[in-house]
Amino acid sequence: MKTAARPAAGTVPRRTTRPRADALRNRERIVTAARDMFVEFGPDVPLDEVARRAGVGNATLYRNFPDRAALIHEVVLSVTSRTTERAEEAMAEEADPFAALCRFVHAAADERIGALCPMLSGNFDRDHPELLAERRRFEEAVEGLVARAMSAGRLRTDIAVGDVLVGLSQLIRPLPGIACQGIDRFAHRHLQLFLDGLEAPARSVLPGTAATLEVLRRRS
């Protein structure tokens, strides 16, 4: 009969520490608050305002994210990952390729994909390997949705993935000014109007050229 190994005398068994559940909740609340405020006010919003909306103290925010760049990194990673999951779910569960694209666009709005736009010129490492890997996964998922819908004859052929992403991002970001408070309630309505314009057969001739991912990646 084998006996369990005992730690040597005088030694203390090693324990692996895990973040407490409340600490994980606080971190998630900070990321969610920052995501929403970046959409509304841009990435330069005061961090104490982020902490206030998240319902935590400044010390808690800085314990999780020592500076603005660290918080932006986490928001970009979170939004990109969650939006990719929505794209993969739509592709797997919708038989109609255009319905899958529509489902993704509305889901991406709910994930606040517009939070990514103000950060493209932000002061953080956009080429961090973790972010690059997640961006590739996201782009591949959206390219797959667009390619399927186009191959099925359900999506107009004079557009590209970038057109979908630019239109989506522009329509879900609130306009500046106090008169636009509460404009989020119109987002899905206007997104559907946009999607109707993407459906084949095309009802107009678009000016300019299609926005590809390569065009979007160019930096001024």
SS (H, E, C) the chain: CCCCCCCCCCCCCCCCCCCCHHHHHHHHHHHHHHHHHHHHHCCCCCHHHHHHHHCCCHHHHHHHCCCHHHHHHHHHHHHHHHHHHHHHHHHHHCCCHHHHHHHHHHHHHHCCHHHHHHHCCCCCCCCCHHHHHHHHHHHHHHHHHHHHHHHCCCECCCCCHHHHHHHHHHHHCCCCCHHHCCHHHHHHHHHHHHHHHHECCCCCCCCCCCCCHHHHHCCC
Tens digits of residue pLDDT in 146-194: 999 999 999 999 999 999 999 998 888 765 544 445 556 788 999 999 9
- pTM of the full predicted structure? 0.80
- pLDDT mean across residues, the chain: 85
